[in-house]
Structure 1
Amino acid sequence: MKIHQFTVRVRYAETDQMGVVYHGNYAQYFEMGRVEWLRNLGLTYKEMESRGIMLPVVSLSLNFKKPARYDDLLTVKTIFKKQESVKIEFDYEIYNEQGELLTTGNSVLVFVDMKTGRPVTPPEYVTEKLLF
């Protein structure tokens, strides 16, 4: 299992009137985690798209345990779960500065050929990076 983590500080614009992170922003934190997870492997979304592959999210789930608040420094942990056929799956954990688990999540993405719009198996330059 390959894990990558990064930190992000909650901005005021990401919160609601109670100073709590609005639930829709967690999908962005997870996306940032995936982008950095791939970059850490030597891949980028930009490179894949320039080579005709996109990775749309087809499933996203979240489980809120405690609220994240304005100005919290969050640690977003992205965990590669599996890659099967045309799909790749990730789990996520978000912690506050005190190490408390705030949110967990999961996403499934599909490799898609940009020309045809159809699912495809990942290209070799991607799969060789996933074999760790």
Structure 2
Amino acid sequence: MYTAETQLRIRYAETDQMGYAYYGNYATYYEVARVEALRQLGFQYRKMEEEGVMMPVTELKCKFLKAAKYDELITVRVTITQMPAVRMFFTYEVIGETGEKLNEGETTLVFINMLTNRPCKAPEYLLSILKPYFK
């Protein structure tokens, strides 16, 4: 299992009339944390896409526990729960400044060969980067 954290500040443009983070932004918070978690491992989406593989999200679950508020510094904890094969699974916890869990979620992404537009296996270099975390 691999876990990483990314901090984000809730910007005014991301809030609703009550000053709470608009619910639709959580998918973006998850994406930022997911990309940064992989970057911390030395993996880059851009390189994978240049080599003909993309990773669209096929499933998103999001559970709201408490509201994140304007100007709050949140921590998004992302965990890769199992070694990827054709799919890659992520879980998320959004933690507020006081340490309270505000949100939790999950995404499933699928590796797609860009030439055939068909599912394919995870790139070998990604598997080799993740292997030490799943012994």
TM-score (norm 2): 0.95
Cα distance in structure 2, aligned partners of 1:83 and 1:29: 23
Residue 64 (str. 1) matches residue 64 (str. 2):
yes
Q: Is the 8 A contact 2:4 2:78 kept in 1?
A: yes
After TM superposition, the runs of 4+ consecutive aligned structure 1 residues lying more than 3 A away are none
- The question of 1:101 aligning with 2:101 is answered yes
Per-residue CA distance 1:18-41 (angstroms, 9 max, x = gap): 111111100000000110111011
Post-superposition Cα deviations, 1:88-122, rounded to whole Å, max 9, x if no partner, equal 00000001110000000000000001111110001
Residue aligned with 1:26, SS? helix
Name the amino acid aligned to 2:99: G
Residues 55-113 of structure 1 deviation map (CA, whole Å, 9 limit, x = unaligned): 10000000100000100000010011123430000000001110000000000000001
Task: Tell me how large the CA RMSD over aligned residues is.
Answer: 0.8
CA separation of 1:84/1:40 partners in 2, compared to 1, >3 Å: closer, same or farther? closer
Corresponding residue SS for 1:83 = coil
Match of 2:20 in 1: 20
Partners of 1:22 and 1:70 in 2: how far apart?
10
Matched, 1:86 2:83: no
| Percent identity over paired residues | 46
- Give the letter for the 1:113 counterpart: N
SS in 1 for 2:81: strand
Q: Please list every run of 5 or more consecutive structure 1 residues that lacks an aligned counterpart in the other structure.
A: none
Q: Could you tell me which runs of 5 or more consecutive residues in structure 2 were left unpaired when the two chains were aligned.
A: none
Aligned match of 1:131? 131
Q: Which residues in structure 2 correspond to 1:26-45 (within 5 Å)?
A: 26-45=26-45
